[in-house]
Amino acid sequence: MLDDRPPHVLIIDDNAQNVALITAQLRRAGYTVSAAATGRLGLEAARQGPDVILLDVLMPGLDGYEVCRHLKADEATRPIPVIMLTSLRDRSDKIRALEAGADDFLSKPVDRAELLARVRSLVRSKRLFDELARSRDEIARQAEQLGAEKSRAEAILYSISDGVFTTDPDGRVTMLNPAAEEITGTTFERAVGRIWSDALGVRDTSGQALSSDTCPLCTAARTGQPVAPRELSVRRPNGSSAVISVAASPVRRAGGEVSGIVAVFRDVTRQREAEHLKDELISLVSHELRTPLASIVGFSELLLLREPLSDTGRSCAETINREAQRLSTLINDFLDIERLESGRISYHFRSLPLQEVIEEVLDGLRTQLAGFRVACDLPGEPLIVRVDRARLAQVLINIISNAVKYSPGGGWIRIAARAERDVVIVSVSDTGLGIPGEAIPHLFEKFYRVDRTEHREIRGTGLGLAICRRIIEGWGGRIWAESAGPGQGSTFSFTLPHGTTASVPAAARELRRDPHGAAGERVLPRC
């Protein structure tokens, strides 16, 4: 945008009358005017940046020619147009004025119309020059910023551990970062200009050449959309191979046209080897360990039930059976957590009364709960939840068993449930050892145990709560723990999705009441 302020004209002339006349003419035309009576004062005034300078030739001291040469020699004043004012008529004087750097000249006495026309033309030229200079400076500034950003981008690109390469629209390599060179065993010089899959030795996971369906870059180019990571294989020049995970995204020009593809990949060979080893371990645990363990449990139970044993023999058989049962629990927990984390577990959801599952779990834990007072604080109407019955029972068993284990002195265990908005909230509270505040955020981590003497003395796998969290979160719920501190008991709560009553038998909607229960509580008689 051109400058819209009034144009400024500087008059350098020692003739006061001449200055007054020209000033009056210019101001009537809308110009701002300043004046200097000598050449040296004019050079100083020119540094204020007028749009045009009207310069008299014949002045004492520095004459107009000398002043003009100084103006054009100074970078700050060189762009300012100069009109020489002269009463000289000789052709050589005009040539001398132009050689000194003048942009135009007017003969005295100055014609008003000609003066305004010449000044207007040069002001327009000066404003255009200033605008171009500003544009040039802005372009230079942007170029500097782009250069700095490019340097930063290149520094990041060449320092990251992921391989990155770009291709043109035909799939030919245009850039390859050092990580990509290291992973594929090739170099930019060998790869540039070649089809990327051939240049980098990439094939599908079965070792076959990529097709339009298996090539992530082809998909990105065809759809114009980013492509999620796909696993492919790399055959390096030295004969070794690797598994890589490749993601691709189109690069677009300003008009939206795809100008190439950028791909990011990483070597996942070790992860796949680790997963293979894990699968083998799980297979070993699942089949090779559970079978002999089942025999140990079974035969130890036969010894305890059918064989006459001495006190020492019975104690040994009971220890064998107890430790085998504990090992069986550990193996089952290990397999459960692995299936939950890998997503290889299936749920069988159906609507059912929560009270029914609670009764079933408490009935199965009758022996463990001996010596405890168990209160169930549940609403009169059945709470219908949509869950996998077996997995909900597993969560309740884990949490209630923990309440028993960490309440070595007995006491109360309270199970409460209430409907709230779109979920049912279930809580299990105890009056046991409690939990220190710093341990609460870690309770649902695998193998975590509270680091206090009284807690370390209690056996456990450290997997139960982790399993509970993955089950509940797998249903879209959440699970949390609360405790006032050591010795203050604890409360574990979790949410369940609401279900419908359509498939729930009417008989199952009644919860048995114990007339001896405290007010506001429903105490299951089996407890």
Secondary structure of 340-383 in HEC code, one letter for each residue = HHHCCCCCCEEEEEHHHHHHHHHHHCCCCCCCEEEEEECCCCCC
Residue 518 reports pLDDT greater than 50: no
* Residue 482 vs residues 260, 429, 441: alpha-carbon distances, Å: 55, 9, 10
Confidence of residue 513 (pLDDT cuts 50, 70, 90): very low
pLDDT at residue 454, as a whole number: 65
pLDDT at residue 452, as a whole number: 66
Q: What is the C-alpha to C-alpha distance for residues 67 and 41, in angstroms, rounded to an integer? A: 10
In the numeric block, the tokens 């107009």 are attached to 64
Q: What letter represents residue 342's amino acid?
A: S
pLDDT at residue 88, as a whole number: 67
* Largest interatomic CA distance in the chain: 144
Residue 523 reports pLDDT greater than 60: no
User: If you average pLDDT over every residue of the chain, what do you get?
Assistant: 85
Lookup: tokens for 20: 């007054």
Lookup: tokens for 468: 């509970």
Lookup: tokens for 445: 């981590």
pLDDT at residue 3, as a whole number: 59
Mean pLDDT of 85-104: 79
Residue 65 reports pLDDT greater than 80: yes
Confidence of residue 527 (pLDDT cuts 50, 70, 90): very low
Mean pLDDT of 204-211: 89
**Predicted TM-score of the model (pTM):** 0.48
Residue 516 reports pLDDT greater than 50: no
Q: What is the pLDDT of residues 390-446, one digit of tens each?
A: 999 999 999 999 999 889 888 999 999 999 888 999 999 999 999 998 999 989 888
